[in-house]
Amino acid sequence: MRRALALTAIAAASITFAPAVGAYLKLGTQLSSGLVNVRWKTFPIRYFVTNRDVPGVTAPQLQQAVDRAFATWGAVPNVALSSQFAGFTATGPVGGDGMNVIGFQDRPDLDRVLGATSFTVDTVTGEIVESDIFLNSRFPWSVSAGGDTGRQDVESIALHEIGHLHGLGHSALGETELLAGGGRRVIGAEAIMFPIAFTAGSLNRSLRADDVAGISDVYGNDRFRNATGSIAGRVTKSGAGVLGAHIVAFNPASGKMVGGFTLAGDGTFAIAGLEPGPHVVRVEPLDDGDAGSFLSASLAIDLDFKPAFYNKLVAVPRGGTARSIEVKVEPK
Amino acid sequence: MIRLRRFAASAGQVRVLAVAGMLAVLPAVASGQPRRGSIEFAGGVVWTGGYSAGSAPANETRNPSGGSTPLTLFQTDSRVLGAIGLDARAGVYLSRRVLVEGLFELRRPVLRTHLSGDFESAASADADVTIASYLFGASLLYDLRAGRAIPFVSGGAGYVREIPEGGDVLTGTEVHAGGGLTYGLTRGHRPLGARLEVQASERSRSVAFDQKRRILASVAAGLTWRF
């Protein structure tokens, strides 16, 4: 059995998770006016690539894979995203230098971390002013079009990290199992932003509905908002709100799934970016060994309830929000 | 003389024809048979059968190290249940046997999705949403014979408008064909009747998770009033 490899976002101290309306998880920051989503406001996002080769991947190959990953996010319909390669640099992906740098870095201390994204955020406006991504050169990497057995695919991991760079948090649309030696192995996932990567050698280079809904929620234009709808409501247990519940909205007509979380103690949630039409709503606790991958460990996340379906189909209206629902769950 | 004789003969002919006409019309009026220009109103209940609304798995991409088939988080099997509604019709006889009518039908069927096979053992459950379903259409009826019990065949087309509770409007078209029986309950100039009709309706779109043409069966029963 292969190792489970966790992808984590290392964020600045001011970063937290925004409980505003959102398809899955958006990063947010606490301002005097309240929590706001962190996001880029100036485009194109200019990025540098560290001029450092690692076995199997040269710096130009890294740049090309990163460029494809940026292009994948930029190709989402009805969002305003653009990026521009600014050149190679000897600088590593470290914060505070005013440059957005993506590169390999040797981090033997993070023996389960393939890559990470850090931010510098304007604490007045919530604007991301700098972001850096490192890929851990402790692991073997590949840019092969078909993938290389035993090597992590640069483009797949860059796609995930660039999702963070744009202001997205982790998605919980995936199933994992605990490994005997520690860590978790992913069994299946339906979001690039799921925090655990597929087995080395696998390719995972396309966005899923959950990723598209998330990025569209942050950067979508009016056409996106007019074409999609949202679901909002509460998850409760014995009458009290459930914090940290994972909610999945599934459209049987298209097979698309989009997830969200209850991010407040009253159990409220909202999932945006949904296709119009009836949706199935399913609620589950986060994986008990991995809740910290999604939400702050300081939060009192409730893991003690059974997965459950909402007993109504929720018809999502085009350009609006479905009537608020209450999903009642039971203790395990 | 000759002229008078001819007149007399002609008058006799007129009387004969007039009596024959009376014989032809009087039974129809007396038994409430329709005639050209008769107006008929009808109203009653209609039951429309249910249909499969599609099955779909909630799939995740499986980690390639574990196989190539998707990981099914849960399975959905959906059905629109049969429902009773109301229908109203108004028509005019184009001839003694041919009626053209406009119709309006209102139903509130339930779209039910059965949720099962959850990967994390969530209990199987049903999730419902009520649909407001409207049909606006027109039909042509042909009475197969006269009498107190009048069998007929019918066919027509309509516009369907369906709205899942809280959701967006879905519109489509339909064509229908069927037949039934009208039975005179009273006689006179404004007879009441009972009408039973069975139809098959092919719909271009309907509330479902797989969009395809569907044939729905329906049975309508009600009263008619003609004048």
A46 touches chain B (CB under 8 A): no
Report the pLDDT value the prediction gives residue A289, as an integer from 0 to 100. 60
Tokens in use for A314? 């929720």
Please check whether residue A265 is in contact with residue A299, taking contact to mean a CB–CB distance below 8 angstroms. no
Residue B26 has pLDDT above 50, yes or no: no
Selected residue of B72, B73, B124 to mutate for chain A interface (largest A Cβ count, 10 A): B73
* pLDDT value for A261: 92
For chain B, the first-to-last Cα distance in angstroms comes to: 48
Q: Which of A17-21, A58-62, A245-249, B185-189 has the lowest mean pLDDT?
A: A17-21
Higher pLDDT, A24 or A95: A95
Confidence at residue B9, expressed as pLDDT on a 0 to 100 scale: 39
Maximum CA extent, chain A: 57
Closest residue of chain B to A325, computed from CA coordinates: B166
Q: How far is A189 from chain B (nearest CA, A)?
A: 5
Candidate from B76, B128, B168 with C-beta closest to A317:
B168
Which residues of chain B make contact with A306, given a CB cutoff of 8 A? 122-123
Q: Give the model confidence (pLDDT) of A288-332 as tens digits.
A: 666 667 777 677 889 999 999 999 999 999 999 999 999 999 999
B122/A312 Cβ within 8 A: no
pLDDT at B34 (0 to 100): 85
pLDDT digits (tens, 9 = 90+) for B107-146: 999 999 999 999 999 999 999 999 999 999 999 999 999 8
Alpha carbons B138 and B124: distance in angstroms, whole number: 43
Task: Pick A316's closest partner by Cβ from B73, B118, B167.
Answer: B167
Give the model's confidence band at A104: pLDDT under 50 very low, under 70 low, under 90 confident, else very high. very high
- pLDDT at residue A247 above 80? yes
Q: For an interface test with B, which of A230, A313, A330 has the most B Cβ atoms less than 10 Å from its Cβ?
A: A313
**Chain B nearest-CA residue for A176:** B63
Question: Residue B77 pLDDT more than 90?
Answer: yes
CA–CA gap between residue A271 and residue A262 (Å, rounded)? 10
Those of residues 180-199 in B touching chain A at CB distance below 8 A are none
Q: What is the pLDDT of residue A295?
A: 72
User: Can you give the pLDDT at residue B98?
Assistant: 97
Size of interface A-B (CB pairs under 8 A): 136
Q: Does B60 touch chain A (CB under 8 A)?
A: yes
Beta pairing partners, B115: B76, B125
pLDDT value at position A35? Answer: 66
CB-based contact A188 B62, cutoff 8 Å: yes
Confirm or reject contact between A159 and chain B (CB < 8 A): no
Find the CB nearest B167 among A255, A311, A317: A317
Q: Tell if the CB–CB gap between B65 and A175 is shorter than 8 Å.
A: no
Which residues from chain A sit within 8 angstroms of residue B79, using beta carbons? none
Is there a contact between B115 and A280 if contact means CB atoms under 8 Å apart?
yes
The answer to whether the beta carbons of residues A235 and A306 sit under 8 Å apart is no
Cβ contact, residue pair B76, A250, below 8 Å: yes
pTM: 0.86
Q: Which residue has the tokens 């007396």?
A: B30
From chain B, the residues in CB contact with A188 under 8 A are 60-63, 66, 70-71, 73
Interface of A with B in 196-225 (CB under 8 A): 198-199, 201-202, 204, 208
pLDDT of A35-55, one tens digit each? 677 899 999 999 999 999 999
Spatial separation of the C-alpha atoms in residues A55 and A139, rounded to whole Å: 10
Interface with chain A: mutation pick from B59, B81, B168, B212, highest number of A CBs within 10 Å: B168
Q: Contacts of residue A204 in chain B, CB cutoff 8 Å?
A: 61
ipTM of the complex: 0.89
Q: What is the pLDDT of residues A87-102, one digit of tens each?
A: 999 999 998 899 999 9
Q: Is A313 helix (H, G, I), strand (E, B) or coil?
A: coil
Asked if B125 is an interface residue toward chain A (Cβ–Cβ < 8 A), one would say yes
Report how far residue A9's alpha carbon sits from residue A134's, in angstroms, rounded to the nearest whole number.
Answer: 10
For the stretch A117-132, pLDDT in tens is: 998 988 788 899 999 9
Hey, is the C-beta of B66 within 8 angstroms of any chain A C-beta?
Answer: yes
β-bridge partners, B63: none
> What is the pLDDT confidence band of residue A180, given thresholds at 50, 70 and 90?
confident
Of A138-152, A177-191, B22-36, give the lowest mean pLDDT range: B22-36
Q: State whether A185 and B63 contact (CB < 8 Å).
A: yes
Lowest mean pLDDT among A217-226, A241-250, A292-301, A316-325: A292-301
Averaged pLDDT for residues A252-258: 96
Is B61 in Cβ contact with A278 (below 8 Å)? no
In whole angstroms, what is the distance from residue A147 CA to residue A154 CA?
A: 9
Judging contacts by C-beta atoms under 8 Å, the chain A residues touching residue B129 are 278, 312-315
Contacts of A308 in chain B (CB under 8 A): 122-123, 125
Among the partner-chain residues A2, A252, A308, the one whose CB lies closest to the CB of B78 is A252
The CA R_g of chain B, rounded to the nearest whole Å, is 27
Sign of the CA dihedral with A293 first, then A287, A163, and A241 last: negative
Closest residue in A to B60 (Cα–Cα):
A190
Helix residue ranges, H only, chain A: 59-74, 154-165, 209-219, 222-227
Question: Closest-CA residue in chain B for A187?
Answer: B63
Locus of tokens 């949904």: A274
Contact A284 B122 (CB under 8 A): yes
Q: Give dist(CA A235, CA A312) in Å, integer.
A: 14
Could you tell me the two tokens for B12? 């006799």
